[in-house]
Amino acid sequence: MRKIDIDPDAGFCFGVVHAIQQAEEALSQESTLYCLGDIVHNEEEILRLQQKGLKTISREQFYEGKFHKVLIRAHGEPPEYYDFAKKHGITLIDTTCPIVIRLQQKIRRAGEEMKEKSGQVLIFGKKNHAEVIGLNGQIANSAIIIENPQSIEGVDFTKPIRLFSQTTKSVEEFQLLSQTILYKTRLCGNDDFVAYNTICHSVSNRSEKLAAFAKSYDVIIFVSGRQSSNGKYLFDICRKNNERTYFISKPEELNLSWFREENSIGITGATSTPQWLMEKTARYISV
């Protein structure tokens, strides 16, 4: 019989679990609940919640002020959304991840410090990622967003710098970026640079275990939403450790040519991948 195992460390992180629990609790009392942006970067889980009555709205729709109750997802939002909700009588179900909340607070303090010193706050992350938008909003969108550690633009290395990271970025890339900035600031005689590794431990701690998991099987099936930053990062770790790693967003995308009968198969996913979807994938393979 073919060996098929699901990675015990894969699946929703605490922040996503909390957000979905809050959404389901609200939907048990009301037929419809509005969520500002996708509650999780997984298309299949969004579809499941849509069938329960969850509706995703855009930032533009939120500012129309027509919704009496709106869920703030784990990524968090800028302060102006809370101000707008209070002014227009919108009840917020705030499921911002505690780790993100602490990061927002750190960035606000750094913003005040850098304002006094005429310095700069840098955030390593995707410019249009919901979490980064929320983080930058803490300091009136004055941060410099760096998407690629090899391409640092708009940074004055002669001035004080405080560096933070989106919680789901690569630890290795953040370290490379930190080292690059440290080198450039020292060349300028600037010793006022501090890098804060704010990558979530549920992401960073998985790297070593995931590499070992990927090496333990003939084939790895990585299940994730295609828009998940965390998914792309973890998939790359699998691929580096097992070239027979395949990315799917749902079981229907499986290709039987990837397997031989004698193959052992490991199934894993992102921190935004639901357990039920990995289990469904295992059933598809075993049929």
Q: Which residues are catalytic?
A: 131
Residue with structure tokens 């999780």?
A: 40
Question: How far apart, in Å, are the Cα atoms of 216 and each of 4, 22, 264?
Answer: 12, 36, 9
Q: For the chain, what is the total number of helices (H) and then of strands (E)?
A: 11, 12
Helix or strand holding residue 282 (H, E):
helix 275-286
CA atoms within 13 A on the CB side of 203: 27
**In 3-state terms, what secondary structure has residue 272?**
coil
14-27 vs 43-50: helix axis angle to the nearest 10? 20
Radius of gyration of the chain from Cα atoms? 21
DSSP per residue over 78-99, as a string?
-HHHHHHHHHTT-EEEE---HH
Closest alpha carbon to 243 in 226, 271, 222 = 222
Tokens at 269, concatenated: 């996913």
* Selection from 70, 231, 40 nearest residue 130 by Cα: 40
> Which residue in this structure is represented by tokens 């968090």?
76
d(CA 269, CA 238): 10
Q: How many residues does the chain have?
A: 287
CA–CA separation, 122 and 136 (whole Å): 9
